[in-house]
Amino acid sequence: MSAARGASPTRSVAARTEGLTKIYGKGDAQVVALGGVTVAINAHEFTAVMGPSGSGKSTLMHCAAGLDEVTSGRVFIGDVDLTALKEKDLTRLRRDRIGFIFQAFNLIPTLTAKENILLPLSIAGRDPDQGWFDQVIDTVGLRDRLSHRPSELSGGQQQRVACARALVSRPDIIFADEPTGNLDSRSSREVLGFLRRSVTDFGQTIVMVTHDPVAASFTDRVLFLADGQVVEELLAPTAEKVLERMGRLDTSALDASHPDTSALDSAALGVSSTGASSTGALSAGALSTEA
């Protein structure tokens, strides 16, 4: 399957949220991380989620991927309502239908690259499709590193192992949380190039949280968050266009905290001073072995 960048006239939906709200704390300590977000993620496309610090972008990804409970609203993967599932069924869905790529790689240090890649299938008790495995390995360029442990691999190679692990089970959707955050510019471009090819050549669906305009330029669509709301989107993004939009959101957020200087700019985007970021501790749940 091939997906042309930013040029799909009819789109199916891989995931969506309806009125998604996530609130942390109570009383005076209450923080609204997401305030009733309704958004659809198109299948066979590469979508970036961006926003100022505390905008709710990582919280949105964690809730959409079933890694964090929602306060209210609904989350769907395909036609399955994650908010209606019992924990055991949710764990099984994450294992079988969702792929994850994290900034910290999350590789098992005692396993080889090949064993790490095949880990989700091993947990599920499924045999790998050898033809597909070979295609993924050759695409990420890891053929000569399969017997190496993570400590014997560069950061870029470790993240390519994590990408292959996410892809090898043919998930419905892959969620990537700052996948190039720990990489140098060359390794980042290699990983982003692979993610782009997995969408274009294999028809994969990927949602990537990032703060990097260059990373976002590899995607088909960028969703911009501010104070827990999706406030804008950009199709067929370039690094320059993304940087301009982010600069505008950062300025609006700053103005919102100083209303006497630019109240009109803040009102134009409906930006308030509320915001929160979710912790990275949730990533361990993605590889839960519970059946």
Tokens linked to 16 = 């969506």
Tokens linked to 112 = 């080889």
Count up the domains in the chain and report the number: 1
d(CA 81, CA 123): 24
Residue 2 within any structural domain of the chain: no
Q: Which CATH number does the domain housing residue 112 bear?
A: 3.40.50.300
Residue 5 within any structural domain of the chain: no
As a whole number of angstroms, the longest Cα–Cα distance in the chain is 63
Tokens linked to 123 = 């947990």
Residue 116 within any structural domain of the chain: yes
Residue 286 within any structural domain of the chain: no
The boundaries of the domain holding residue 144 are 13-280
Is the CB of residue 99 less than 8 Å from the CB of residue 171?
Answer: yes
What is the residue-level pLDDT of the chain in tens, covering all 291 positions? 444 454 444 579 999 999 999 999 998 899 999 999 999 999 999 999 999 988 999 999 999 999 999 999 999 999 999 999 999 999 999 999 999 998 888 999 999 999 999 998 998 899 999 999 998 998 888 999 999 999 999 999 999 999 999 999 899 999 999 998 888 898 899 889 999 999 999 999 999 999 999 999 999 999 999 999 999 999 999 999 999 999 888 776 655 554 444 444 444 444 433 434 333 334 444 554 444
Q: Dihedral angle at the C-alpha atoms of 19, 222, 215, 226, nearest 10 degrees?
A: -50
Is the CB of residue 200 less than 8 Å from the CB of residue 192?
Answer: no
Residue 200 within any structural domain of the chain: yes
Residue 288 within any structural domain of the chain: no
pTM of the model: 0.81
pLDDT at 252: 67
Is the CB of residue 148 less than 8 Å from the CB of residue 137?
Answer: no
